């Protein structure tokens, strides 16, 4: 299931770093406030929203899902679907895994690569297309999260060492990445800031700013499991 990388030649690539939504293995900070089962489902809903939005993109592009656990490769493919190309993440830390992902894709002939992270519920196809368009004139495109992290990083060419020593698990990840682009004298485009769901407080804040009658699957789930009462809509 899934397309093999050996069968593909890339030009524009959207890649996603994903984990299998196993209870107790994803969104562990969020789990402390709402329980591990609910946290895992929230992660899955955010990731599934990205899968849907990627399929809407009108640009000629390839989509690669980089998964973290080789032992769960078939489960990940069954969950995400057969439309994507699947590769295992490689590296000792997030910075190395990201650099290796960009290296593999550019070595296959990619001209633009956008790497996405499934922690934001509002990443839509129009923002993805904006990122791809920005790479036509900029070296780097960055999608900053409200918590200081990054939800998207795009490159127009491979830049070895760009992510070295950046701690992508902290609230300074976006600021560190911006500083690195300046250090490397790279042109940079910034995307809209989006909410990252890491705590129950993030959920409340996201709901408060959600457009009326948006009907996001995550919103429906939050009310269904009682994280927020229905009369608070």
Please tell me whether the overall predicted TM-score, pTM, comes out greater than 0.95 for this model: no
> What's the pLDDT band for 215 if we cut at 50, 70, 90?
confident
Tokens encoding 177: 């990445």
pLDDT for 85 beyond 90: yes
What local confidence, expressed as pLDDT, does residue 11 receive? Answer: 85
Stated length of the chain: 233
Mean pLDDT of the chain: 90
Please tell me the predicted confidence (pLDDT) of residue 216: 86
Strand partners, 13: 62, 113
pLDDT exceeds 60 at position 229: no
The pLDDT value recorded for residue 230 is 52
Domain 6-223 has CATH 2.60.40.1890: no
Quick: pLDDT tens for 111-122: 999 999 998 999
The percent of residues in the chain predicted with pLDDT above 70, rounded, is 91
Sheet strands (E) in the chain = 12-18, 62-67, 85-88, 112-116, 140-144, 150-155, 188-190
Q: In what order do the strands lie in the sheet with 12-18?
A: 85-88, 62-67, 12-18, 112-116, 150-155, 140-144, 188-190
| Cα–Cα dist 102/119, whole Å | 20
pLDDT value for 1: 42
Domains of the chain, by residue range, sit at: 6-223
């Amino acid at each position: 299931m899934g397309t093999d990388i050996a069968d593909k030649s890339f030009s524009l690539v959207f890649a996603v770093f994903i984990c299998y939504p196993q209870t107790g293995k994803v969104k562990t900070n969020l789990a402390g406030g709402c329980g591990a089962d609910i946290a895992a489902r929230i992660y899955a809903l955010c990731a599934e929203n990205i899968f849907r939005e990627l399929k809407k993109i009108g640009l000629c592009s390839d989509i690669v899902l980089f998964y973290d656990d080789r032992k769960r490769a078939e489960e990940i493919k069954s969950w995400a679907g057969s439309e994507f190309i699947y590769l295992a993440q490689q590296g000792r830390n997030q910075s190395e895994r990201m650099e290796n992902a960009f290296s593999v894709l550019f070595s296959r002939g990619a001209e633009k690569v956008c790497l996405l992270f499934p922690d934001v519920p509002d990443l839509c196809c129009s923002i993805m297309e904006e990122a791809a368009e920005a790479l036509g004139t900029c070296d780097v495109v960055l999608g900053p999260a409200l918590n200081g992290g990054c939800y998207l990083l795009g490159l127009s060419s491979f830049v070895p060492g760009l992510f070295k020593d950046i701690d992508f698990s902290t609230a300074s990840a976006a600021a560190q990445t911006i500083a690195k682009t300046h250090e490397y004298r790279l042109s940079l485009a910034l995307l809209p800031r989006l909410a990252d769901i890491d705590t129950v407080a993030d959920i409340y804040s996201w709901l408060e700013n959600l457009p009326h009658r948006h009907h996001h699957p995550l919103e429906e789930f939050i009310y269904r499991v009682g994280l927020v009462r229905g009369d608070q809509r």
